[in-house]
Amino acid sequence: MTSFKLFLKRLLLHVIPLLLFLYMNQLEIKGQDTLFNIQPYTIRIDTITKIDTTYVIDTIISTYTYIVTDTLYNSHSDNIENSETDRHTFEGNIGVTLNQLAITHWAAGGESNGSGKITSNFTYKYNRKLFNYVINGIFAYGMSNYTKDKRYEKSEDRCELSMTMSNNNSNNLTFTSIASLKTQFTNGYSYPNDSIPISKFFAPAYLTVSAGYNYNINNIVSIYLSPIAGKMTFVTDQRLADMGSYGVEAGYWNIYNGDSTWVKGKNLLSELGINVLVKYKQNFNNNVSIFSTLNLYNNYMDPNKANRWNIDVDWETGVRFTINKQISAIINIHLIYDDNIKFTITEIVDGTEITKQSPILQFKESLGISFLYKFATN
């Protein structure tokens, strides 16, 4: 039996009945009593209308663990003897990217500045008879120096790890499971205010666990589709959690019989949805290489039905012009749209200034000269 048929079988036998069970329970509890007793002076009342998403994700992950291991094993039970032996490979690079701007008596204005960043990428591959394991790491940290004001600002901060497990076959279509973790190293600020951080290490941090199918086209384009993907957002800094940053539930004052109690904001936001990951990478004439990664996520179990059509977008594209083995020029563009990340926006409506919190498209572009050292072991 092919891996695709096995996956459909497990999906029909386990996941769909589970979703139906959750839906029926949702209908039963809808409209029950509120979480807090309703009082005339209660500032906020949370009504139980949805099942705890964390419980849903835990259940889905447990079920999917069985589906992944059972599907991967059975899809190769007939041809284990033809599989390759175990093999380890490890490769990566360490690079320094620099760019600089000098201005003196420039009529159009501007400010002299220089920036640099250190990057490190690695890939560890472990090929077994049944499975392929791939662990990727992306680390980057950069600073910008503005000479006029003698100030430094952070320009890059990435700490990303991912693990991919797929069945070992010669087909373009493979059953794949991916777990990824994204966060940052140091505090982030909304410059020029560098006294109050708007982000920290693990505030936020994004953990995504998914399983689905990956289709590879000539090792140039790959398309990954996961119908059930769990996404968890951690905000470990309590001040940011109390503000409701990055989508977690904010803290609030609960007033009961004249007494007020501060309820802390939650440190975790759990989501369940669909994940699509498209990757493109190609070399041209050994001197120019292009890579692009598009990551889409939709939370179809959002308690607010109006938000179920929102799609989180993370799209990064880069072009590398190789000068020699160690030196290259890099252009990088990064776009992010996340409905859970709010920005303060000021608008003028009928002559009145209105300030509100709203998600907006995040954009970052960089161009620099990179000095790269590559390493590899077999």
- How does pLDDT run along the chain (378 residues), one tens digit per residue? 555 555 555 555 555 555 444 444 444 433 443 333 333 333 333 333 344 555 555 555 555 555 555 555 555 444 444 444 568 899 999 999 998 777 775 665 667 788 899 999 999 999 887 888 999 999 999 999 887 777 889 999 999 999 999 988 768 899 999 999 999 999 999 888 889 999 999 999 999 999 999 999 988 999 999 999 999 999 999 999 999 999 999 999 998 888 899 999 999 999 999 999 999 999 988 899 999 999 999 999 988 888 888 999 999 999 999 999 899 999 999 999 999 998 888 888 887 888 888 899 999 999 899 999 999 987
Give per-residue burial for 98-135: e unless 16+ CB within 10 Å, then b.
ebeeeeeeeeeeeeebebbbebebbebeebeebbbebb
10 found inside a domain: no
CB-based burial label for 257 (10 Å; 0-12, 13-18, 19+): exposed
Which amino acid, 180? Answer: S
343 found inside a domain: no
Cα distances from 239 to residues 16, 203, 264, in angstroms, run 39, 10, 9
What pTM was computed for the model?
0.78
Q: For residues 109 and 314, give the distance between their C-alpha atoms in angstroms, rounded to a whole number.
A: 33
**How many domains does the chain contain in total?**
1
Q: For residues 367 and 325, give the distance between their C-alpha atoms in angstroms, rounded to a whole number.
A: 19
24 found inside a domain: no
* Contact (CB, 8 A) for 111 and 150: no
**HSE of 81, CA atoms in CB hemisphere, 13 A:** 1
16 found inside a domain: no
3-10 vs 53-74: helix crossing angle, rounded to 10: 150
Range of the domain at 141: 85-336+364-377
16-29 vs 53-74: helix crossing angle, rounded to 10: 170
66 found inside a domain: no
319 found inside a domain: yes
